[in-house]
A and B are shown apart, each in its own frame.
Chain A
């Protein structure tokens, strides 16, 4: 079965007055139809930039420096705006973090969903458009859709708004959904509802998804596979079970140890020391080395390649090199539920 989306050695930089910001560095991943991949990492590690560069929605200061993006086997790396327009909404759609700003405040919610429907079916009749809009709203769990499509975004609650955004995203029946922290700005109870809705829709419609988040709890709830990003690179990737129960990268250990649920009743939460590096001039060697208590001398010299652990699991750390000392992951780091 061919991969739905395949990203190979993608590097994306922003050219700012402060210099070249290497937001995405040599990232490779793939996505099969109907699969959910979670992109996990701290703020500013390049998760959003990665998604937007695939949809070519980056500002003019950004450029794909190298690598390729294949969708359904076709190379879309150098597609122009005209070609991308045909793919957006149909091949991939997007949901953003803040539903407050993701909807145009001066247009009714229904008009904004209808607009997404009409892009793909320009000749649709008025009545059919209303029907389809109502159907989409019902699909995402907005009841009394015909009444509510006349409402403005400010008359909706946060969760309802995110449902409306999701409805617009699903209008073109996309094969891939990029969900950029879709629950971060919501209340915890609403978060759970939206996540369940998301998972349910994804299964029912068979949509593949790239789920960007910094919340490992969310990952466990929705994802099939996980890619952990740090400083613009994917440092570990595998199935949810592999990454949660058998993490190999020290950064992943740190992330898992920092989870409150896994703190084991200790008084203070674990935090990874230090700050992520700036991506203007990424450090030599492993970007995580200076925050890594298990760093080896070589980490400061040379970037680790991806070491395969299993067919589906690999991590970029020298600790996996056969010559490296054997280190047991710290408590909480990999022993989830054991």
Chain B
């Protein structure tokens, strides 16, 4: 592979990424400002309703909200390129700071959820494939289909109802008890939201693994591997799962935004102080600057994981790798 062509390809991809981010930023900026609602409510809270028209005009002037939208947008970019993303109207702090203070919680919840799904899905999928058509496979497939049809917010509510309200085993909201707590406290608060995130997404990916593995199981080389004397379980693990892995990895890279979205919803229901709750609040209360930055960050994650998926599938499958230059030998 020549360095030049590699640089050109990477450059093209980066350009596409930048363009997408620009389009996203523009859309979010215009939509949020055109949507009905009063940003001053975010800033002044209940007091906003008692402001005199003069005070309102002053406040809008100070926040730069009475200029035409395109002027506001240009100003936003001017500041953003210097690293200033404006202040959050609600928290009266730099938007970036607010996000930084919450991002950790989301990373813990989303990251742990992703890691669990990433490990459990192939195991579950391979187990179902191994027992294809058997009672275990049928029960797991039906259960999975049912659970993944349940919206996360409802699943969360039921989980709270059962495990917090009825049984009283686990806390129903927040990331830690008032006054802070130890690691055990954090984990106790994490179990329910994490369980919902995993339960909501696991089946879909396990099912993908199952069908990919079974698809591979029909290939000639599987028949031949059995003819060599390998057991069915070994063939499924060593051959089928291996062949299914490249597409699984790229699928999981694409799944990052999917799982992140699920995390946002679950955070909301559990009042878990993460980016999801923050995103909801900022959209609800016209906290423009915060919303912009959150959307751009989430969008960036979505786009990067898409690119990562492409890159991974290209690296893992030797056939794809070969197209990049290693020649076949006669």
Q: Is the CB of B318 within 8 A of A152?
A: yes
Q: Is the CB of B238 within 8 A of A115?
A: yes
Q: Is B227 an interface residue (CB 8 A)?
A: yes
A52 to chain B: closest residue by CB: B223
Q: Is the CB of B228 within 8 A of A106?
A: no
A residues near B317, Cβ cutoff 8 Å: 105-106
Q: Is the CB of B220 within 8 A of A106?
A: no
A94 to chain B, nearest CB (A): 4
Q: Is the CB of B227 within 8 A of A89?
A: yes
Q: Is A85 an interface residue (CB 8 A)?
A: yes
A residues near B133, Cβ cutoff 8 Å: 60
Q: Is A120 an interface residue (CB 8 A)?
A: yes
Say which one of A163-171, A211-219, A257-265 lies at the interface with B. A163-171
B237 to chain A, nearest CB (A): 12
**Known contacts A154-B319, A155-B326; A93/B242 CB under 8 A:** no
Q: Is B143 an interface residue (CB 8 A)?
A: no
Distance between Cα atoms of A139 and B224 in the complex (Å): 20
User: In chain B between 145 and 199, which residues have their CB closer than 8 angstroms to a CB of chain A?
Assistant: none
Distance between Cα atoms of A55 and B221 in the complex (Å): 15
Interface on A for B, CB 8 Å cutoff? 52, 55, 57, 60, 81, 85-90, 92-94, 96, 98, 101-107, 112, 115-116, 119-120, 151-152, 154-157, 165, 168-169, 171-172, 178
B residues near A155, Cβ cutoff 8 Å: 322, 326, 328-329
Partner of A104, one of B221, B227, B246, B329: B221
Partner of A57, one of B219, B226, B319, B330: B226
Distance between Cα atoms of A171 and B229 in the complex (Å): 10
B316 to chain A, nearest CB (A): 8
A residues near B232, Cβ cutoff 8 Å: 81
A171 to chain B, nearest CB (A): 7
A162 to chain B, nearest CB (A): 12
Q: Is B231 an interface residue (CB 8 A)?
A: yes
User: In chain B between 84 and 113, which residues have their CB closer than 8 angstroms to a CB of chain A?
Assistant: none
A residues near B224, Cβ cutoff 8 Å: 94, 96, 102-103, 165, 168
The interface size of chain B toward A, counting residues with CB under 8 Å, comes to 28
Partner of B229, one of A85, A104, A107, A165: A85
B239 to chain A: closest residue by CB: A104
Known interface pairs A101-B221, A112-B225, A156-B329; 13 further A-B residue pairs with C-beta atoms within 8 A, sorted by A's residue number: A57-B226, A85-B230, A93-B227, A94-B227, A96-B223, A96-B224, A98-B220, A105-B319, A106-B318, A119-B228, A119-B230, A152-B318, A156-B328
Please name 21 pairs of A and B residues whose Cβ atoms are closer than 8 Å in the assembled complex, sorted by A.
Answer: A57-B223, A85-B231, A88-B226, A88-B229, A89-B227, A89-B228, A94-B224, A96-B224, A101-B219, A102-B220, A102-B224, A104-B239, A106-B318, A115-B228, A115-B230, A119-B228, A119-B229, A168-B224, A168-B228, A171-B228, A172-B228
6 closest A-B pairs by CB: A89-B229, A94-B227, A101-B220, A116-B228, A88-B229, A119-B229
Partner of B322, one of A85, A116, A154: A154
Q: Is the CB of A88 within 8 A of B239?
A: no
Q: Is B308 an interface residue (CB 8 A)?
A: no
Distance between Cα atoms of A107 and B219 in the complex (Å): 14
Q: Is B48 an interface residue (CB 8 A)?
A: no
User: In chain B between 201 and 223, which residues have their CB closer than 8 angstroms to a CB of chain A?
Assistant: 219-221, 223
B residues near A101, Cβ cutoff 8 Å: 219-221
A residues near B228, Cβ cutoff 8 Å: 88-89, 93, 115-116, 119, 168-169, 171-172
Q: Is B243 an interface residue (CB 8 A)?
A: yes
Q: Is the CB of A106 within 8 A of B329?
A: no
Partner of A172, one of B229, B231, B246: B229
B306 to chain A, nearest CB (A): 23
Partner of B243, one of A60, A104, A157, A172: A104
Q: Is the CB of B223 within 8 A of A90?
A: no
A91 to chain B: closest residue by CB: B229
B residues near A85, Cβ cutoff 8 Å: 229-231
Distance between Cα atoms of A120 and B224 in the complex (Å): 15
Distance between Cα atoms of A152 and B329 in the complex (Å): 10
**Known contacts A151-B329, A152-B318; A107/B239 CB under 8 A:** yes
B199 to chain A, nearest CB (A): 31
B residues near A52, Cβ cutoff 8 Å: 223
A86 to chain B, nearest CB (A): 7
B318 to chain A, nearest CB (A): 5
A93 to chain B: closest residue by CB: B227
Q: Is the CB of A154 within 8 A of B318?
A: yes
B232 to chain A: closest residue by CB: A81
B241 to chain A, nearest CB (A): 10
Distance between Cα atoms of A128 and B248 in the complex (Å): 34
Distance between Cα atoms of A169 and B224 in the complex (Å): 9
Q: Interface centre among B229, B246, B322, B328, by most A CB within 10 Å?
A: B229
B residues near A106, Cβ cutoff 8 Å: 242-243, 245-246, 317-318
A173 to chain B, nearest CB (A): 12
Q: Is the CB of A57 within 8 A of B227?
A: yes
A residues near B239, Cβ cutoff 8 Å: 104, 107
B216 to chain A: closest residue by CB: A104
Distance between Cα atoms of A172 and B225 in the complex (Å): 13
